[in-house]
Chain A
Amino acid sequence: MNIARMRLVLPPWAYGFVAAFAMWVATTAYSGFVNAGATLSAALAFGAFSVVIGTGQMLVIASGPGNIDLSVASVLTLAAYVSMTAMHEQSGLLLPGLLAALGIGAVAGALNFLAIAALRLPPIIATLAWSFVYQSVAFNLGGEATLKPPGALLWFTVQRVGGVQIIPVAVIVMTVVAMILLRRLVFGRHLLATGQSERAAYLAGVEVGHVRLLAYVLCGTLAALTGFLLSGFTGGAALNMGDTYLTESIAVVVLGGTSVAGGQANAVGIWGAALFFNLMATMLNTFHLEAGVRLLLTGVLILLIVTIITPARTS
């Protein structure tokens, strides 16, 4: 009864925040109040990367049923390698490095869409095949070695202004921009219209092809930006740096209240889901559970949340 009433009150995107808060309270209760602030700021810092890559994935998923980008992890790694190679650890080359990363991401996104449109492939297969190619290119650029970032990037990614980290704040601004984009701007309206019914949108004069292309390009660009920032944050570009981000980018979008059927998107919910994921990892680590139990609980929690949010969405 209680749960039924809660569903009426809480929108689907809010459950990520509720779950994240519960994980935070549990962690704090276990490890003492002194660590509460540090736990939260670490979750914000790591969560910010999941939000950037998730926001791109959200645009693609919202563009219609079946649309998904499985190449985000490879694009992230490739962009990190390309930009680190371009900068040669020289802080003066920071801007060219960033532009190189964003350019790679945009090209990768455009290639993804091209394969989907020209070969009429399901997006899952097209982006999967491209991800193999991007992965190979990254492997040839860097091999097994870790490419170090320039000092300026290292400095920027851990920088705080008045005790507040820059990156999470910048990413919150990005989320607000994404919300405005979806609610108020023509592209956002066209994207959701295309996602709801491609045929109806086409008949209403929406250039559905252009809209989807832009969604994939933005997704690639945001994945590349994640790779650029992440290699500053973690101290370099490594071959396995993108591994966890493929499933996480999809999970944060869906658990954040965006429908896999397309045509409906929620940018704020991604933050809730990303915080939930990071705080859950922290909590399970704090409890000193063995690896298997951690994985098992991760699966159970994903299933729980998706079961809770789905009826709320359809009602």
Chain B
Amino acid sequence: MPEAIPPGRSAARRPWLRDAGQVGLPIGALIIMLAIIFWIRPAAFSYFGFTLLFKLATPLVFASLSQMLIIMLGDIDLSNGSFVGLINCVTVLYLQSSPGVAVLIYVATVTAYATFGLVIYLRRLPSIIVTLGMSFIWLGTAVILLPSPGGSAPEWLSGFMSWRPPLAPLPIWIAILSALAGHFVISRSSYGAVLRGAGASPRAVQRADWSLVGIRLATYAAAGLLACLAGLTLTGLTTSGDPNIAPAYTLLGVGAVILGGGSFTGGVVSPIGTVAGALTLSLAGSLLSFLQIPPTWQIGSQGVILFLVLAGRVLISERTV
């Protein structure tokens, strides 16, 4: 059977139920994984336990949301991870000593990022290969700035990342707030409908007198800003700089978007699902070490977890169609 879903199929009888299922899937996976962890180590069910389990989730949440915006437009970004690495290097080099320079570089990189997005659209270039080229440019720039890993994060930044807010640990707050913000902007607002439309049916959006150039420029710039946030929060966690710190974010981010119910056809993404997908993927590592799976099998088990969760998606869509 061909893997592409025939056009008529997406019109499910109860679309809201299917959408809820798509978003519920990564959340369900998250809850199951947490349940297993707490069953093995009841002591982990505490403020401190949650802090440790989700410690590294925050940058991945932002990187995944950045990737989500690009996938929403029907493109894909293979440069996300090296962009985060570049921001990491810029942050340790300049943010403490000369904040003005650092901010200037952030603005310049986000502008460059948005410009590439515009070029992809105007010249009808394949985004997969343009962003591959971009990834070399970000990595090269990072290596020129910081040839060997080192440097240190500004104290306020690492201080913020280890801040303990009331009720829930910081990564949980950030995840919830960014998921809600994304939900209201992308999934609920009227502008969100236009943005998703720009990916699903660009001609329709153009006919409705929207500027595709403006939409794509703004979306790529927003994606660049989110990737900046990923780089900043990552620096706060690692407290040092390394150009090659985050190449895995590129594909993990794509995985999170798809886990969260997104699709490469453009226009179909869910911010809540994406955030849940990012949390699931970052929790997978902790779960596997709790299950005492030998390190050599951990990467493979992550692949299996990805399959298991996505297999659930097939079950849901078959039930609701």
Chain A contacts to B: CB under 8 angstroms: 64, 66, 68, 70, 115-125, 128-137, 139-140, 143, 198-199, 202, 208-209, 212, 247, 250-251, 254-255, 260-261, 290-300, 302-303, 306-307, 310-311, 314
- The answer, yes or no, to whether B137 is at the interface (CB within 8 Å) is yes
Q: Counting chain B CB atoms within 10 Å of each CB, which of A115, A133, A137, A260 scores highest?
A: A133
In the complex, the answer to whether A292 meets B147 with C-beta atoms within 8 Å is yes
Please name all residues of chain B whose beta carbon is closer than 8 Å to the beta carbon of A118 when the two chains form the complex.
Answer: 314
Name the distance in Å between B134's Cβ and chain A's nearest Cβ: 6
Name the distance in Å between A3's Cβ and chain B's nearest Cβ: 14
Chain B contacts to A: CB under 8 angstroms: 1-6, 76, 78, 119, 123-126, 128-130, 132-145, 147, 251, 254-255, 258, 263-264, 296-304, 306-307, 310-311, 313-314, 317
In the complex, the answer to whether B125 meets A295 with C-beta atoms within 8 Å is no
In the complex, the answer to whether B306 meets A136 with C-beta atoms within 8 Å is no
Please name all residues of chain B whose beta carbon is closer than 8 Å to the beta carbon of A261 when the two chains form the complex.
Answer: 126
Neighbour of B296 across the interface among A140, A293, A294, A298, CB < 8 A: A140
Q: In the complex, A255 Cα to B129 Cα: how many Å?
A: 9
Name the distance in Å between A103's Cβ and chain B's nearest Cβ: 20
In the complex, the answer to whether B124 meets A116 with C-beta atoms within 8 Å is no
Name the distance in Å between A264's Cβ and chain B's nearest Cβ: 13
Q: In the complex, A133 Cα to B142 Cα: how many Å?
A: 31
In the complex, the answer to whether A198 meets B307 with C-beta atoms within 8 Å is no
Q: In the complex, A255 Cα to B130 Cα: how many Å?
A: 11
Neighbour of B133 across the interface among A123, A137, A260, A302, CB < 8 A: A302
- Extra pairs beyond A122-B3, A260-B128 (8, CB < 8 Å): A117-B3, A120-B5, A120-B314, A136-B298, A212-B3, A292-B141, A306-B126, A310-B125
Neighbour of A292 across the interface among B4, B126, B144, CB < 8 A: B144
In the complex, the answer to whether B132 meets A251 with C-beta atoms within 8 Å is yes
In the complex, the answer to whether B297 meets A300 with C-beta atoms within 8 Å is no
In the complex, the answer to whether B303 meets A131 with C-beta atoms within 8 Å is yes
In the complex, the answer to whether B311 meets A119 with C-beta atoms within 8 Å is yes
In the complex, the answer to whether A299 meets B254 with C-beta atoms within 8 Å is no
Q: In the complex, A125 Cα to B259 Cα: how many Å?
A: 9
Q: In the complex, A296 Cα to B3 Cα: how many Å?
A: 38
Please name all residues of chain A whose beta carbon is closer than 8 Å to the beta carbon of B311 when the two chains form the complex.
Answer: 119
Please name all residues of chain B whose beta carbon is closer than 8 Å to the beta carbon of A307 when the two chains form the complex.
Answer: 119, 123, 125
Q: In the complex, A139 Cα to B6 Cα: how many Å?
A: 39
Please name all residues of chain B whose beta carbon is closer than 8 Å to the beta carbon of A255 when the two chains form the complex.
Answer: 129
In the complex, the answer to whether B264 meets A122 with C-beta atoms within 8 Å is yes
Please name all residues of chain B whose beta carbon is closer than 8 Å to the beta carbon of A208 when the two chains form the complex.
Answer: 2
Q: In the complex, A293 Cα to B143 Cα: how many Å?
A: 8
Name the distance in Å between B281's Cβ and chain A's nearest Cβ: 11
